[in-house]
Amino acid sequence: MSDRRHRFVVIGAGMAGILSAIKLREAGFRAVTVYEKADRLGGTWRENTYPGIACDVPSHLYSYSFAPNPDWSHVFSPGDEILAYLEDVARRHGVTDCIRLGTEVTRLEWRQGRWHVETATGERDEADFVIAATGVLHHPRYPDIEGLGDFEGAAFHSARWDHTVPLEGRRVGVVGTGSSAVQIVGAVVDTVGELRLFQRTPQWILPLDNPPISDEDRARFRADPTALAARRAELARSFADNFANAVVDAASPQMRMIEELCLANLEQNVVDPDLRERLRPDYRAACKRLVVHPNFYEAVQRPNAVLVTERIARVEPAGVRTADGELHELDVLVLATGFQVDRFLRPIQVTGRDGISLDEVWTERPTAYLSISVPGFPNLFMLNGPNGPVGNFSLIDVAELQLAYVLQLIEPVLRGEAAAVCARRDATERLEAARVEAAQKTVWVTGCKSWYLDDRGIPAAWPWSFDRFREVMARPDLGDFELTAAPQVSPAAR
């Protein structure tokens, strides 16, 4: 019988950390602590509170499979509703008591067969297993623009929205045209006095409507859980067929369909031919992360909106100076400039077997066996780790599958047949080579710059179908793992 007294430390109380706590408790483990550096759970949905925030995975799909929510307000529900959902799920599953808020893990060291954990406040803990649920799009990337610190107005990153700054009637600049910027523009254009969108690269926009879910439908989902489950299954299938499997096959008919929809959106909805050309990308749709928005083009064509395509030269006290010499005077500057996507559980100092640090192993770039396990770092598992399906599927589905995989992987340790488990180096290298080769077929390498691409220009993402991901996650291939022998205990010592 498995020994359920093993101790788990989970890092991060976002979507994946909450999931881990719930599933570990369900599996019978009582010794589970989730460390969360912030004073509230919710991860990305706690941090990103900018106007217009919503998830572009349909809400009935962007929900835990075990906690369907009949009450989503919209097809793509807003961020605060998602945050409330996560808090509610944590509460209803009784895991809030194991979450230590305001406690940042700073060090992890593998010593004498256990993880030694240190926090920013100097607390120490030990664990048999660590699950890093630290997120991907987490550390804001601030642009390297000269003079940014000289700006006399309010300037903040989209993921650090300053709600004390009023926008009504003011001159607001937004840097960036990613998913965050586009949502912000759509949400604030009618509030602000003047909006200047600083575009370095145009984006393709998939114009999906975001209708409210009717009271009748919500009542139906509440009364009939099978209808809700059927809705989720239908969305999962269509998301996989029409998007997830399309982006990994640049030549697929579904990819062509996405391109046609984006092109028609641009052609039909931007009136002024000059503006239309300035908004026209010169790369294929979904090469960069596809931006989904019902009416972005409408927003940029408002009389108070200006699309600025001149390069930003510098920021000055009064605003942004572009390379053509024009000063764009502003009261507020929003930096919707994305995230450092190669951090994962860093800046935590992680020291694995034989004193090797994760920073050393990841000097060139982060890698892991199936995004989950790093050779030399036993009993440490990442959810949504490096090179995973970050841009293909609902990250909730991804984390659920990964966690179920990890729970199988640790069974030999729980049964006392091994002391620790981690991926073999040769298996990790073999898989990585296959991944790099398969990535050549994806739409991400068809001629754009994006956060998907690593320093070599190779997509740091899962390049195969969702069905393949599900298959691979169904059962670990223990031949690809090193199982460290359990210490021999003499009968006398038992």
- Tokens describing residue 363: 């000097």
CA–CA gap between residue 67 and residue 172 (Å, rounded): 39
| Burial grade of 441 (CB within 10 A; 0-12, 13-18, 19 or more) | middle
CA–CA gap between residue 36 and residue 5 (Å, rounded): 23
CB of 57 to ligand NAP, least distance (A): 7
Please, which residue, 178 or 366, has the CB nearer to ligand NAP?
178
Please, which residue, 145 or 374, has the CB nearer to ligand NAP?
145
- Tokens describing residue 61: 């799909």
CB of 357 to ligand NAP, least distance (A): 28
CB of 484 to ligand NAP, least distance (A): 37
Find, among 205, 220, 216, 201, the residue nearest to 264 by Cα.
205
Please, which residue, 198 or 444, has the CB nearer to ligand NAP?
198
CB of 134 to ligand NAP, least distance (A): 16
Please, which residue, 423 or 443, has the CB nearer to ligand NAP?
443
CB of 138 to ligand NAP, least distance (A): 10
CB of 290 to ligand NAP, least distance (A): 8
CA–CA gap between residue 138 and residue 160 (Å, rounded): 11
Please, which residue, 17 or 338, has the CB nearer to ligand NAP?
338
Please, which residue, 62 or 481, has the CB nearer to ligand NAP?
62
- Tokens describing residue 479: 């031949």
CB of 42 to ligand NAP, least distance (A): 15
Three-state secondary-structure class, residue 400 = helix
Under 8 Å between Cβ of 378 and 393: no
Under 8 Å between Cβ of 142 and 148: yes
Please, which residue, 24 or 57, has the CB nearer to ligand NAP?
57
Question: What are residue 168's DSSP bridge partners?
Answer: 192
Question: Please, how many CA atoms are within 13 Å of residue 322, restricted to the half-sphere of its CB?
Answer: 17
Backbone angles phi, psi at 33, to 5 degrees: -125, 130
CB of 343 to ligand NAP, least distance (A): 14
Please, which residue, 88 or 146, has the CB nearer to ligand NAP?
146
Helix H or strand E encompassing 63: none
- Tokens describing residue 217: 């439908």
Under 8 Å between Cβ of 186 and 54: no
| Burial grade of 457 (CB within 10 A; 0-12, 13-18, 19 or more) | exposed
Residue positions counted in the chain: 494
Question: What are residue 129's DSSP bridge partners?
Answer: 8
Both ends of the chain: CA-CA distance in Å? 17
Please, which residue, 5 or 314, has the CB nearer to ligand NAP?
314
Please, which residue, 319 or 338, has the CB nearer to ligand NAP?
338
CA–CA gap between residue 85 and residue 67 (Å, rounded): 9
**In angstroms, how far is CA 322 from the centroid of its own chain?**
32
Please, which residue, 56 or 411, has the CB nearer to ligand NAP?
56
**What is the binding site for ligand NAP (CB under 6 A)?**
54-56, 137, 143, 145, 158, 175-181, 183, 198, 200-201, 289, 312, 336-339, 449, 451
CB of 266 to ligand NAP, least distance (A): 17
CB of 62 to ligand NAP, least distance (A): 9
CB of 226 to ligand NAP, least distance (A): 28
Q: SS3 for 365-397, per residue?
A: CCCCECCCECCCCCCEEECCCCCCCCCCCCHHH
Please, which residue, 444 or 481, has the CB nearer to ligand NAP?
444
* Alpha carbon separation from 49 to 53, 153, 163, 306, 393 (Å, rounded): 7, 20, 9, 24, 22
Backbone angles phi, psi at 319, to 5 degrees: 160, -155
Largest CA distance in the chain: 86
CB of 448 to ligand NAP, least distance (A): 8
Please, which residue, 339 or 481, has the CB nearer to ligand NAP?
339
CA–CA gap between residue 217 and residue 59 (Å, rounded): 14
CB of 141 to ligand NAP, least distance (A): 7
